[in-house]
Amino acid sequence: MVSKPEETQLNTLENQVDNGGGGAWEYLCLVRKLKVRRSEKVLKYGLSILNDPKKRSALGPEEWTLYEQVAIAAMDCQCLDFAKDCIKVLHKKFPESKRVGRLDCMLLEAKGSWAEAEKAYSSLLEDNPLDQAIHKRRVAMAKAQGNISVAIEWLNKYLEIFMADHDAWRELADIYLSLQMYKQAAFCYEELLLSHPTVPLYHLTYADVLYTLGGLENLQTAKKYYASTIDLTRGKNTRALLGICLCTSAIAQLSKGRSKEDKESPELQSLAAKVLEKEYKQRAADKLGLVTSALRSLKI
């Protein structure tokens, strides 16, 4: 995830290069470091360096990294001839490289030759079953074809090997959510919370999933995770504050007829509602009436 200062630095450098102020190589390095996709810009400025023998030779060993970066950008932009030329240069320099072989597979993907690409990826995996990049490319390829069930299957197999890859758990959770498979998505977020217990986003999304599932136990747990989100963000998460109010109301409805011991105190909901009203009064005063009305309509 790119931080705001990093994004500002990248945009400033991009504007500088766009306006002829130099710094194309620094821009390309920063794009690579932050792992962002600015394919059109990368292709434009990367080719300007590669097509200039003096600039290209000044890069030293980094020249080959730039060829790879430009090849991937060219595939993104469907400029497949440029991609093919870059890969050809890399093959000449590194004739036995599996990394360059992976670019060949990606080129097949870009052409829409799915069967050939899958065959080529499988061949590379036979040589190195622990190549994470190839496993991820297969998942991406399945998604690109709209074959979501296969993407889920491969992601699950990948996570059996690389259990600590939180990006893969998030990807799998997002797929499950898109299919309304909330129990499976909840499991993914439980794994994320185990490995990253201080990330507010995971607490918040897990609470959202549990609230969507419904049921007294899920709602009570969701309320706890909304509360932990508020704690981790020092009370600055509006969605979590609203989640507290919604959970408290839903729990109250489901707890009707139960003993007082089973019912929850409305104090937390009252406090969350006050903070919400204060936030809207400061930041969106024109919507304060609507929010106040909505909060009062919740039955506790």
pLDDT per position as a tens digit, 245-288: 999 999 988 887 665 555 666 788 888 889 989 988 888 888 88
pLDDT recorded at residue 107: 96
Which has the closest alpha carbon to 269: 283, 253, 282? 253
Global pTM reads 0.83
What residue type is assigned to position 248 of the chain? T
What kind and span of H or E run contains 138?
helix 132-144
Averaged pLDDT score across all residues of the chain: 92
Mean pLDDT of 222-236: 94
Q: In this structure, are residues 91 and 100 in contact, taking their beta carbons and an 8 Å threshold? A: yes
| Other beta carbons less than 10 A from residue 188's beta carbon | 27
Contact 208, 223 (CB under 8 A): no
